[in-house]
Structure 1
Amino acid sequence: MDVFQVEGTIMLVVFFVLLAIKIYAFGSALLFSGESYSAANKLTKPAWCIILGLGVAVQLIFQSPLGILSIAFTIAAFVYLADVRPALANLTRR
């Protein structure tokens, strides 16, 4: 196999994995009520939906998972999934 084929395959896998993570985070953000965000002392629902939605759009438009914007929005998605989503889920379970 050619080195460039391997690199291209790896980049394609990274692209789709990061896109799936961003889509999952965006979909999750849409499911919780706006009151849940304020009750958990987190950024508002519209703010998270805009941030995560822009992350999906940027990845689809620029198609570079390692661009600076894509990395910034990937970090935002991970912050949402690691911090905000568990706090929102704890509120709805009670």
Structure 2
Amino acid sequence: MDGVLITGFFSVVALISWALFLFAVFAFVDAAIRREDAYRAADKNTKPFWLLILGIAAVVMKLFSILSFLPVIGLIAVIVYMVDVRPAVREVAGRGGRGPRRRNRGSSSDGPYGPYNG
């Protein structure tokens, strides 16, 4: 009976470890597709810095069990990227990260204070 509980526990831990690894890989790929100048414009660290940190986090999450402290440090780095850096870079570069957002400029008859109805 004890073997079933231990096996079940470690299978749940293995699933959580895989989910966290995939989360780190997603963050790494997201950081890789963003433009370099968007990181500078958002006043965040450079793109190579985040690629290095997120790459190390993904490797650590794959190699070590979630029960040790190294994957927890990697998870913190991934969460910082996803919660702080990613939204700032997306806001600067636009949703796709390929260019600035286009404003809705309205009609060609709009003046500086709104529509011209003259």
Common fold by TM > 0.5? yes
One-letter amino acid of the structure 2 residue matched with residue 60 of structure 1: K
Q: Mapping of 1:44-59 within 5 angstroms?
A: 44-59=46-61
State the percentage of identical aligned residues. 33
Detail structure 1 runs of 4+ shifted over 3 Å in the superposition: none
Asked if 1 retains the 8 angstrom alpha-carbon contact of 2:25 and 2:58, the reply is: yes
The structure with the largest alpha-carbon Rg is 2
Q: TM-score, normalised by structure 2?
A: 0.74
Whole-Å separation in 1 of the counterparts to 2:79 and 2:62: 18
SS in 2 for 1:66: coil
Which of 40, 43, 46 lines up with 1:41 in the alignment? 43
Match of residue 88 from structure 2: 87
Q: Mapping of 1:53-68 within 5 angstroms?
A: 53-62=55-64, 64-68=65-69
Number of residue pairs matched by the alignment? 93
Aligned-CA RMSD value: 1.2
Higher relative contact order (CA 8 A, sep 6+): 1
One-letter amino acid of the structure 1 residue matched with residue 67 of structure 2: L
**Per-residue deviation, 1:48:** 0.4
Asked if 1 retains the 8 angstrom alpha-carbon contact of 2:35 and 2:93, the reply is: no
Asked if 1 retains the 8 angstrom alpha-carbon contact of 2:39 and 2:89, the reply is: yes
Q: TM-score, normalised by structure 1?
A: 0.91
Please list every run of 5 or more consecutive structure 2 residues that lacks an aligned counterpart in the other structure: 95-100, 102-118
**Per-residue deviation, 1:38:** 0.6
**Per-residue deviation, 1:33:** 1.4
Please list every run of 5 or more consecutive structure 1 residues that lacks an aligned counterpart in the other structure: none
